[in-house]
Amino acid sequence: MNRHLLSMRDLSAEDVVRILDTAESFREVGTRVIKKVPALRGRTVVNLFYENSTRTRISFELAAKRLSADVINFSTTGSSVAKGESLKDTALTLQAMGADAIVIRHASSGAPHRLTTWVRGHVLNAGDGTHEHPTQALLDLYTLRERLGRLEGLRVAIVGDVLHSRVARSLSFGLVTMGSEVTLVGPPTLIPPEALAWGVQIDHDLDAVLPKLDVCYLLRVQTERQRLEYVPSIREYARRYGLTSARVAMLPDEAIVMHPGPMNRGVEIDSDVADLPRSVMEAQVTNGIAVRMALLYLLLGAGGEEG
Amino acid sequence: MSAEVMDASDIRRALTRIAHEILERNGGPEEVVLVGIAQRGDELARRLAERIREIEGVEVPVGVLDITLYRDDIGMSAEAPELHETRIPFDVSERTVVLVDDVLFTGRTVRAAMDALTDLGRPRRIQLAVLVDRGHRELPIRPDFVGKNVPTGRRAQVRVLVEEVDGRDAVVVQEA
């Protein structure tokens, strides 16, 4: 594995299996009375979040704490960033404080990569712009393997605003690496033209795709990002691409429903559907901690070369 | 050059004796649980449990403990050490836990195992059973039950082979 986790494209199938197997061991740690092991005692992990994301930050924080690392949460409101400090200066400050790993979320695609050129510690991409969100993809792969027993040959539809979704990109790359069959589903305005080069299929008719799926993965409609000009209206989107009870009935019996959260109930997913046993959102959250523990362990637990 | 210092029947006899010693020391099997240290100790722990069942007709609980996350050398090798399964499906509190490992060397593994175990509960006492004690301790740790003392050079390799994993039972010393 590389020193950093920036993109799912950097991971081979072998790397993914190693990460998921390691996460499996950490799932067991999460069932103990004392959910903490001393593996990363004395190491410092910085959460550097330029965008709000309570769930991803908390998940990383818990993962680092369960490995006994010291955790610093550096959020941009009320900090030096609000006073105009550049990413580079912030990075150099964290470096000077001895950060062994920096978990970064940033609105600009490529910011984590830039960070690696300024710091010696490990960099983990917790979501950058519309580029990638590799830890979400890995926790999704873990959940799929746990629920369905395999990744190879799985038929997965990723439904929604693929164009602006770093989750969709990372998950597509990961699934294709592991030999799954991926179909991107959404209105033509929200599917990037270059997506065919990812090794996926494209379809615009959700109803035609549903009967052939093992997994229906719904993306969040990002109402807060003013991307509504891409669809006639939210209602129109929900009518064509929202997962309703009627549509769930078209899925094969064994098929599962996934969503990276937070959900817009009544838009991309109906409230009843979100609460079905085949909707595995809670497992995704629980597995997220184990997968992030595995990543921190594999990156920080490796010694050796100075970067 | 390598030498076989124990064969299958040596190992069988040693484990039978250790099983008797565990019972004698603890006045029977009632309080005893066995915890093998991955990856060879768990197989030896299962065999000790089998012997105890033959002698006393009682099943003692057997668990497996992976101590990797408690090691004191994480971050010192090129790759993070591989993790193995920990499965201890019983409460260790107020029990006599017999830790079982294949080879006792520096004592660092046993130190890690004791830390891991006390995170899982509060055993009444912890005892240590090893198939081979090869010396060269770096910590004040001593075994309660020993299959065989094998004096070795500091750099020699001692390998315990078990049927289930390696295809045969043997203890092999490879001098550096």
Query: The dihedral of CA B19, B22, B27, B33: what is its sign?
Result: negative
Domain that holds residue B114: 2-73+83-174
pLDDT at position A285 is: 96
The Cα B67–Cα A143 span in angstroms is 26
pLDDT at A304 over 60: no
The Cα B37–Cα B59 span in angstroms is 19
CB of A29 less than 8 A from some CB of B: yes
**How many other C-beta atoms are found inside a 10 Å radius of the C-beta of residue A149?**
8
pLDDT at position A133 is: 98
Which residues in chain B have their CB less than 8 angstroms from residue A28's CB? 85-87
Which residues in chain B have their CB less than 8 angstroms from residue A304's CB? 77-78
Closest to A48 measured CA to CA, from A13, A4, A5, A87 = A87
Q: Given B77, B87, B121, which is nearest A303 (Cβ)?
A: B77
Residues above pLDDT 70, as percent of chain A: 95
Which residue among A57, A66, A133, A169 is the active-site one?
A133
Domains and CATH numbers, chain A: 8-133+285-300 (3.40.50.1370), 149-278 (3.40.50.1370)
> What 8-state DSSP symbol labels residue A211?
G
pLDDT at A265 over 70: yes
Residue A282 CB-density burial (10 A; 0-12 exposed, 13-18 middle, 19+ buried):
exposed
- What does the pLDDT look like over A71-120, one tens digit per residue? 999 877 766 676 778 999 999 999 999 999 999 999 999 999 999 999 99
Cβ atoms of A289 and A66 within 8 Å: the answer is yes
- What does the pLDDT look like over A163-207, one tens digit per residue? 999 999 999 999 999 999 999 999 999 999 899 999 999 999 999
pLDDT band at A225 (very low <50, low <70, confident <90, very high): low
ipTM above 0.90, yes or no: no
Tokens found for residue A205: 């008719």
Of A249-258, B76-85, B143-152, least confident by mean pLDDT is B76-85
CB pairs under 8 A between A and B: 55
| C-alpha R_g of chain B | 16
> What 8-state DSSP symbol labels residue A9?
G
Q: What is the CATH number of the domain that holds B160?
A: 3.40.50.2020
pLDDT at position A224 is: 66
The Cα B146–Cα B132 span in angstroms is 6
Q: What is the average pLDDT across A225-229?
A: 64
Could you give phi then psi for residue A47, rounded to 5 degrees? -95, 110
Q: What is the average pLDDT across B9-37?
A: 97
Which residue among A105, A169, A220, A259 is the active-site one?
A105
pLDDT at A218 over 60: yes
CB of A304 less than 8 A from some CB of B: yes
Name the residue type at position A14.
E
Q: In chain B, how many domains are there?
A: 1
| Residue B22 belongs to some domain of the structure | yes
| Residue B78 belongs to some domain of the structure | no
Residue A134, preceding peptide bond in cis (omega within 30° of 0): no
